[in-house]
Structure 1
Amino acid sequence: MAQHRASDAGAPTMRDVAARAGVSAMTVSRVLKDDARVSGTTRERVLAAVEALGYRRNETARSLRLGGSGMIGLVVTNLANPFYSRLALGVQEVASEHGLRVLLSNTAEQADRERGLVEDLASRQVDGVIVVPAGSSHRHLAPAALRGMPIVLASRPPAGMDADCVLVDDFGGAEQATGQLITDGHRRIGFLGNPPALYTGAERFRGYWAAHEAAGIEPDENHVRRGLTDMATAESAARSLLQAPDAPTALFCTNNRLTQGAIRAVRALGTSVALAGFDDFDLADVLGLPLTIVSYDADEIGRRAGQMLIDRINHSSAEPIPARRTVVPTHVIRYGTH
């Protein structure tokens, strides 16, 4: 018997698979949906035909028939930060489990750019979007402003709107790490932080301050540097602090990029300063420096945000789901000799 060939020179169709397996197109569809009504022998014939022909479903057409795009958006603020690659992997894991693709965009902490990117995703009719928001007002992210598109915020809570969000215990992690430095005997602890307008930076500064208050210590505001954005600004700020009279004996940094900038300053100056910071990073354990790191599962932030978005997309009841908030816990890791 002659082997069945694809119906044209293009990609094989479901009808081609059906003809090769000797079944109907409906049976092929049921096999691909893992329908229990199909017998084992028929299933094996269909799957063998799928493999032989190299058949792949037309997901775009399938999504249109089902009333969705089959895609979700993910908008982050800084792809140079490893935190966001881990978050994206968590989102991707959940999206893949539900047959969805992820469109990734970067705002560089620019609220206007974020607005344009999210509006573009809405115009493309993606099924929903996860955003790490920039700026201090998020009204432009409200579902009403985005044609009802489901939205979840990650890492930073909503401001000026209600929305699901996944946060890290920023305050608790900073308080615990700073408290550990105080327990180690440090009384002059410098602070290297993001811009105060950022929720994460503000909460981590609040935790740093609270740890001092709990120990009955008044922080020296001359040892505080806020508004830092990258390794270069952190290195410059750390150099300034560590070369000043009555320099701090330890530094707390609000993210891994700032911690790495501080490490460069400590290495260059040859000082024996203890460092603490938010976000674990590769090779932190082999640097030979006393490091106190606030660690958490960045993938889990993405997974939780992804699942929240899936819940919103699949919600068909007329009864609305109230906005939900979940917090990923932190724990302290210590590297080097303290």
Structure 2
Amino acid sequence: MATRPTMKDVAAEAGVGAMTVSRVVNGDPGVMPETAARVELAIRKLGYQRDDVARQLRRANQLSQTIGLMVDHVRDPFMAAIAFAAEDVARQHGSVVLIGSTRDDLRREREVVAAFTSRRVDGLILTPVAGSHRFLRPMITQGTKVVCVDRAAPGLDVDTVVVDNFDAVRGAVRHLMAHGHRRIGYLGDKKEIWAVGERYRAYQSALEEEGIDLDPSIVRHGLRSGPDAAAAVTEILSSAEPPTAVFASNDIVAIGVLAVLPPQIAFISFDDFTLADRMTPPVTVIAQDPIAIGATAAHQLFARIHGDTSPPRTIVMPTTLIIRGSGEIPGPHPQGS
């Protein structure tokens, strides 16, 4: 089995010292251009690659000044806001943030975690995908701090920053009921995702509290895009007994739904989104504060990195039902009937 070329091999090939190779690899502008070109040629010829793991090995208690942030998808505005806030806090602590997306794939999550740990991050802010996270335990045992954000990771005893999904959604469904609705459709992301599961459980609970039987024909799960959501709401509105109101589990689903939703159907979304207040009618939403959520998770992570050994805790952030009009469209049943 061939051995990887070393810095000494590159130095011998280029006819320079190992220190010069190190300076070129690390972008030192003080190296003469002719010498740097000779070293670069040797690097390409030998296929040398810098060993980031060895480079970042540190003495006990020495920090790498990096943290990892793993979100579902960086293009999701909610996740982007969390990343923005975490980066701001990290900067205050003299650290940088490495960001990766799982796209809700457990194997990809493992790959991103492995990439972060190979770079010896001091801690990890994780939006966990559905599934087991036991694979994180060795990393945690070895001292890497972990904080979950937006979603809990069942079975993992770490700090978690979430909102009260259950009470927020139960209140929103009861709000629709108070405006005369009994046929309330549910359109959601994958219910295996912890936060989404909590939202669906709240929807079920609100119906049960009012003695309303859950009708699977007006429920759809696993909606991961706007087109998925548009197709789903079109389908449930074509059923024999269509809903008079619809609840969407997140902003991505909501945007897809609103592209095709008739104006007489009441609607509430979990998550506010751009132009929600400019639509006709303006959209009633359960609003979260992703900046506060991301900043709280980052502050908690740095507290752990800098020595906080108190028991792991769950921090529950507030939500707000913003009443704008779409959730107040009257249904066929008078209040209290």
Q: TM-score w.r.t. structure 2 length?
A: 0.77
CA distance in 2, matches of 1:184, 1:221: 22
**Counterpart residue number, 1:326:** 315
Matched, 1:201 2:196: yes
**Counterpart residue number, 2:235:** 240
**Counterpart residue number, 2:75:** 80
> 1:109-157, CA deviations, whole angstroms, 9 ceiling, x for partnerless residues?
1111111111111111111111101122111122546732111111111
> 1:287-332, CA deviations, whole angstroms, 9 ceiling, x for partnerless residues?
112532100111111111101110111007xxx4311110111110
Pair 202,66 (structure 1): closer, same or farther in 2 beyond 3 Å? closer
- Of residues 194, 205, 210, the one that matches 1:210 is 205
**Counterpart residue number, 1:294:** 286
Give the letter aligned to residue 288 of structure 1. T
Please give the residue correspondences for 1:91-130 in structure 2 after superposition, counting only pairs within 5 Å.
91-130=86-125
**Counterpart residue number, 1:56:** none
**Counterpart residue number, 1:226:** 221
Query: What is the CA-CA distance between 1:10 and the residue it aligns to?
Result: 4.7
**Counterpart residue number, 1:179:** 174
What are the ranges of 5 or more consecutive residues in structure 1 without an aligned counterpart? 1-7, 12-59
- Of residues 300, 303, 319, the one that matches 1:311 is 303
What are the ranges of 5 or more consecutive residues in structure 2 without an aligned counterpart? 1-27, 32-54, 329-337
Pair 240,9 (structure 1): closer, same or farther in 2 beyond 3 Å? closer
- Of residues 145, 158, 167, the one that matches 1:163 is 158
Give the letter aligned to residue 273 of structure 1. I
**Counterpart residue number, 1:19:** none
CA distance in 2, matches of 1:271, 1:282: 19
**Counterpart residue number, 1:135:** 130
Query: What is the CA-CA distance between 1:263 and the residue it aligns to?
Result: 0.3
CA distance in 1, matches of 2:97, 2:181: 46
**Counterpart residue number, 1:335:** 324
Q: Does the CA contact (< 8 Å) of 1:274 and 1:290 recur in 2?
A: no
**Counterpart residue number, 1:283:** 275
Q: TM-score w.r.t. structure 1 length?
A: 0.76
Query: What is the CA-CA distance between 1:207 and the residue it aligns to?
Result: 1.1
CA distance in 2, matches of 1:235, 1:80: 20
CA distance in 2, matches of 1:143, 1:330: 35
SS in 2 for 1:75: strand
CA distance in 1, matches of 2:73, 2:174: 29
> 1:142-179, CA deviations, whole angstroms, 9 ceiling, x for partnerless residues?
25467321111111112222111111111111111111
CA RMSD of aligned residues (A): 2.3
